[in-house]
Structure 1
Amino acid sequence: MNWYRRLENRLESGSDESGVIRGTLSGRRMFMIWLAANLVVTTMLTGTLFVPGIDYTTAVIVIVVGTIIGTIVLTLIGNIGTRTGLATMAITRGAFGARGSYLPVAANVIILMGWSWVQAMLAGISVNYVVEQTTGFSSPILFSVLCQALVVGLAILGHEGIEKAEPWFALLILLAMAFVFVTAFTGHAPSEYTQMSTDPSLEFTPALALDIVISTAISWTVLSGDLNRLAKSQRAGVVGSGLGYITSTVLAMVLGLTAFSYILIDRGGSAGTGDAGGEPAAFDPTVLADEFGWALAIVIFLSVMATNTMVVYGMVNSVVGAQSRARLRFLPVALVLGAISIIGSTWLALLDQYTDFLTMIGAFFVPVFAILIVDYYIIKRRVYTRDILRDSGGLYSYTRGVNWAAVGVWVVGALVSYLLTYAYPSPVGATIPSFIASFALYLGLTWHTRGRFAAVSVGHLSAEA
């Protein structure tokens, strides 16, 4: 039985007098968990998308600023997990209702399924690269399927082992990062990177880059409650996860940015040539492996195996744990979702739509997290009671288990995100306006209910740490 199901079982059985589950991990340990979790190839390759659309210096600034903004949301949601002992998808029951929470749970499964496909493809392409270099045989689809089948098996049988191995994979990634940085900055002076010309025809703006960086943080926020409820205190959770996420994301994205800039300079895209390389980066790890060696492809494969196993494992548990009294068993759900993930891993064209995929993540979850922050910190006054574990009745029953205000705001927020991305492109991107609109609308619609929760204190789950 996994660690967060054990926590939920303790919550349901009331294993301590207050009903509060207190984690035991220090801030340092939380830092290491988040550092290891986000040192993955997807974050690194995201950094390759920014040049030559925008200049190197602007890209670095956008990465840092966007990561900090996204981390604020990530740590606020993670802190609810620390205070309540609940996983992120269980937390949504407080704002959306027991039945209404099925909507964000379904969205979460869709997003995680997409991530599992992307990661499997990247692993398969990396393996195919090594095999093709050594034997001449090439079949990216075959290796993507085999990699995902291995991931599903690990998620069912070996998830605890992969958790223990992940820090070692992270160490390999850090060593590979050091090698790439040294190669890049000894091969070309820093001034060559900062003076690279851009390609306006790509129509890639700093605002779009900012949206991508924030969406990356949002994609990790779906797991922030799951991880941060293990922290022994709010300070440990907020500081540890915040610094861990910022460090890993900035390192990985700047690495991808630097590595691809190095390639562009080698191909004649340096300042003064009038040619920025002509093409944006493909979301393809072999672009970097061609330049920095097949050993990097192997490290990419290992990092994907570790991270994708936890993605599939978390996806299954989102479904199994959708109700407080689980009626679905882990193995059948894992087999069904695993089969879908294996079939989907053949859709290599998804890699060409990666930015659209990140946009979809933002549209799905930016409104959800805006709603949760308002609901928990303002409307519910930082208290969720044990009623949140009930499938019917109690404080969070709303209308037949659905808080239609939250559902309506979610739809509006997603619509705002879509319109500002595709119909009326916003000069400041879509993520921040969508968050603000969702935050303000939900606050306005629910402010009158705030008094109902003012006196709630008995049997609450929040832990003052």
Structure 2
Amino acid sequence: MNKIKNSSMFFLWAGAAISITEIYTGGMIAPLGIKKGLIAILIGHIIGTLFLAFGGYISFKGNKNAMDKVTDSFGGVGSKLVSILNVLQLIGWSAIMIIQGARTISSQVKIPTSMAIVVVGGIIFLWSILFNNYTKKVNDISVIILIVLCILLFLEIHSGGMVVKGGQSISLTTAIEITIAMPVSWLPVIGDYTKDGKSGKGVFISSFFGYFIGSILMYALGLYISFFTGKDIIAFLSEKGIIASLIVLLATVTTTFIDVYSAVISSKQIYEYKNKNLVTLIYCAVSILLAFVFPMENYQNFLLLIGSVFVPVYTVVSVDYIFKRKCTININFIAIITAILGVLIYNYFNNNNLGVPTIFTFLTVAAIYYIFTFFMKKSLSVVE
């Protein structure tokens, strides 16, 4: 990939954040009310996006994509395991984006949802294979248009009721956690792009503010729609004509092509391939097929599952980067065991509603991994 300017990096990650999925997630926070909801959104984005931008910075400094940096900590075999999980979650994300985009577009232009799924998936495929050489400027312009359209959509929100219904609730900590989980879900992806940035400082700042601004806008939009109209997000957008249609189509494309492209990049850790476009086509086809059957009612659980896996993984990567260490064997068992413990810790805190799982998991995993490697670094061939 050619070098990405800071402005394009900003719009790349703003585009990744501007999606119907983030609007949908913002709508989940509505039972908290506007004030507490916005506080949760702000806190969650500060934590999650700092983690995300640091992950991108690490890849830039090492001039390595996301999974290559994982190899530096987990070893070649260990990184294959992480890469498999990453490809699966990226295909899952692509399917979710295609479903939500297709449902809204289907209701707008009066075509079957199945047809809309295929159309949206096809456009994503074309955008994915053209991004490297042709669509950076088009992507920048598309994101600018998206931001303007989203601001216009705020003006379309009129109070008509509240989304809070009997038995429906969400805690402040859960709201913060699902806000953190969204930027964290991009951790195994961001390095595929930031490694081609212009400077470390530029990469960190542009990716942070691009995602931070775009994602807060989306979460707030979802919060306002659900709280003030009492309507389902897709139902609301379906009533808003051409503005909503353009938002959904552009947002779906500018977000999902990043998932597909990075799934292709991550696959290099798993198997050798010569034709990148063919692999892109296969992953788009699989995402389209999955979109027909994905259980959207489990969306929140899917989002938290990603956090439970990649927060521990990138905590290990961050610790090794900070202490300038690199694994020189095929598999770092201490890294894998620590990451598995991190998954269990995350789920324990999440299932028992104890604080903010991401923060506790990060601190606990960092401490465990540092202590284990401090005493066992020679046998593990982890060198400083």
Change (3 A) 1:153 1:231: closer
Aligned partner (choices 112, 116, 138) of residue 139 of structure 1: 112
1-side partners of 2:262 and 2:33: how far apart?
37
Aligned partner (choices 246, 259, 279) of residue 225 of structure 2: 259
1:299 aligns with 2:247: yes
Instruction: Provide the alpha-carbon RMSD of the alignment.
Output: 2.7
Identical counterparts, % of pairs: 23
Change (3 A) 1:248 1:24: closer
1-side partners of 2:85 and 2:96: how far apart?
17
Higher fraction of helix: 2
Change (3 A) 1:397 1:310: same
Change (3 A) 1:433 1:200: farther
Q: For residue 11 of structure 1, what is the aligned residue in structure 2? A: none
2-side partners of 1:197 and 1:113: how far apart?
31
Equivalent residue letter for 1:171? I
Q: For residue 418 of structure 1, what is the aligned residue in structure 2? A: 347
- 1:134-213 correspondence to structure 2 within 5 Å: 138-156=111-129, 160-184=133-157, 187=158, 201-213=167-179
Change (3 A) 1:304 1:56: same
Q: For residue 58 of structure 1, what is the aligned residue in structure 2? A: 36
Report the secondary structure of 2:76's partner residue: coil
Equivalent residue letter for 1:166? N
2-side partners of 1:356 and 1:414: how far apart?
14
How many Å apart are 1:156 and its aligned residue? 4.1
Count of paired positions: 382
Change (3 A) 1:30 1:329: closer
Is 2:38–2:220's contact at 8 Å kept on the other side of the alignment? yes
Report the secondary structure of 1:347's partner residue: coil
- Normalising by structure 1, what TM-score? 0.75
- 1:230-241 correspondence to structure 2 within 5 Å: 230-241=196-207
Aligned partner (choices 37, 41, 44) of residue 23 of structure 2: 44
Equivalent residue letter for 2:118? V
How many Å apart are 1:166 and its aligned residue? 1.8
Report the secondary structure of 2:170's partner residue: coil
- 1:438-449 correspondence to structure 2 within 5 Å: 438-448=365-375
2-side partners of 1:111 and 1:63: how far apart?
23
2-side partners of 1:78 and 1:216: how far apart?
15
Equivalent residue letter for 1:113? I
Change (3 A) 1:151 1:99: same
2-side partners of 1:164 and 1:197: how far apart?
39
List gaps (5 residues or longer) in structure 2.
Answer: none
Change (3 A) 1:33 1:336: closer
Aligned partner (choices 363, 375, 390) of residue 320 of structure 2: 375
2-side partners of 1:242 and 1:96: how far apart?
26
Question: CA offsets per residue over residues 179-205 of structure 1, 9 Å max, x none?
Answer: 122333xx46xxx99xx7955722311
2-side partners of 1:200 and 1:376: how far apart?
48
List gaps (5 residues or longer) in structure 1.
Answer: 4-22, 133-137, 265-280, 385-395, 457-465
Is 1:320–1:330's contact at 8 Å kept on the other side of the alignment? no
Q: For residue 8 of structure 1, what is the aligned residue in structure 2? A: none
Q: For residue 403 of structure 1, what is the aligned residue in structure 2? A: 332
Report the secondary structure of 2:167's partner residue: helix
Q: For residue 90 of structure 1, what is the aligned residue in structure 2? A: 68
Is 2:106–2:112's contact at 8 Å kept on the other side of the alignment? yes
Is 1:156–1:331's contact at 8 Å kept on the other side of the alignment? yes
1-side partners of 2:130 and 2:369: how far apart?
42
2-side partners of 1:173 and 1:333: how far apart?
29
Report the secondary structure of 1:232's partner residue: coil
Structure showing greater Rg: 1
1:120 aligns with 2:98: yes
Question: CA offsets per residue over residues 235-271 of structure 1, 9 Å max, x none?
Answer: 212222222221111112112211222213xxxxxxx
